[in-house]
Amino acid sequence: MRLVLAALAFLSLVTPPALAQTPCHAENDGPNFTDGVSVSAVYFAFQFTAPASFTATGLEVFTGETNATQSLGLWSHNAATNRPLAALSSGSMSVTSTNQWYGAQLAGNVSLTGGQTYWFVWNAVGGGQAPVDVPMATLGQPYCASTNGGATWGNLFQFNDRHWKFRIYGSCTSAPTGYCTAGTTTNGCNAEISASANPSLSGATACLITIDDVEGQKSGIVFYGLGALPQAWCSSGGSSFLCVKAPTARSSAALSGGTSGACDGSLSLDWNAYQSANPGSLGSPFTVGQKVYVQGWFRDPPACKSTSLSNALEMTYVP
């Protein structure tokens, strides 16, 4: 039996997040929700898989229509029963009649491992707004409920009108990681690639890729792929490595600027603008935790294949 009542209407509501941070993982956190779906006074547990390893510090759920203190928590997973196993940490929040996001800081930080299954647990108050998105063609997350504070858990359910809305905050803003080795150009340049931040699905964080110390006045591109495979660029001679596994996608060619014969040229790519202009590009639609591998290529006529390459960069998508 479902532990929620029938829906009355579908609404769209934009509210500021209750926690002034960037979520490390979020599910169905868009503005839409199904109004009039109320819950029973039980513990709800929503199953999720951590997209990457990070430390959780706070939780949010979309609810309202009550005036009471409620709690949110993270639980480990019992693979044998496919149910929550044990509480990892929890925190309390004050909920009002307004339907919006409500958040709780965890009493203790929780280290989540990427690829592992966990449970988002909400101690609901009877009559409160259920944190559900509008119905979809696909099934929502597996969920179950407990009437005894989590001592035991009931049947597991999945429905296409139960896409649960929650967010997990924490420390997940690790920087892009450089790897591989830049080739040494004819004039002794070693082009170095970097990025201002990891790309975000929302596009809220600027992600500017820059390749410095490029040969001046040379034509070049920025290219990327979905895997890393360092290998010599030339079968003999040369010092560059191809660090990105095919297939790849590339930016338009650009001039490095600077001074001919010097190492003061540079190439750059606004990753968000590129993806916005190329919605069907390699890897799209991207997901949280997905990695992309980026490298620079530019003309260097005396070198093997008449080109040289920078080192490479591993970037990981965040919410």
pLDDT tens-place string over residues 117-162: 999 999 999 999 999 999 999 999 999 999 999 999 999 999 999 9
Residues 57-79: what's their mean pLDDT? 97
Q: Confidence band (pLDDT; 50, 70, 90) for 173? A: low
Residues 26-31: what's their mean pLDDT? 90
Q: Confidence band (pLDDT; 50, 70, 90) for 6? A: very low
Q: Please give the structure tokens belonging to residue 161.
A: 């009108």
Domains of the chain: residue spans and CATH? 9-171 (2.60.120), 177-316 (2.60.40)
- Report the sign of the C-alpha dihedral through residues 204, 176, 166, 2, in that order: positive
The neighbour count for residue 296, using CB atoms within 10 Å, is 29
pLDDT score at 3 = 45
**pLDDT higher than 60, residue 1:** no
**pLDDT higher than 50, residue 93:** yes
Mean pLDDT of the chain: 90
User: In the chain, where does DSSP find H-type helix?
Assistant: 271-277
Residue 259 pairs in a beta bridge with: none
Give the CB-side neighbour count of residue 79, counting CA atoms within 13 A: 3
Q: Confidence band (pLDDT; 50, 70, 90) for 21? A: low
Contact between residue 146 and residue 152 where contact means Cβ atoms under 8 Å apart = yes
Share above pLDDT 90 across residues of the chain, in percent, rounded to a whole number: 78
Q: For the segment 191-250, what is each residue's pLDDT rounded down to a tens digit?
A: 999 998 889 888 878 899 999 999 999 999 999 999 998 899 998 888 999 999 999 999
Cβ-Cβ contacts under 8 Å for 208 (sequence gap 6 or more): 195, 196, 268, 269, 270, 271
**pLDDT higher than 70, residue 50:** yes
**pLDDT higher than 70, residue 22:** no
Regarding pTM above 0.85, the answer is no
Q: Please give the structure tokens belonging to residue 110.
A: 């929780």
**pLDDT higher than 80, residue 172:** no
pLDDT score at 318 = 81
**pLDDT higher than 90, residue 314:** yes
**pLDDT higher than 60, residue 14:** no
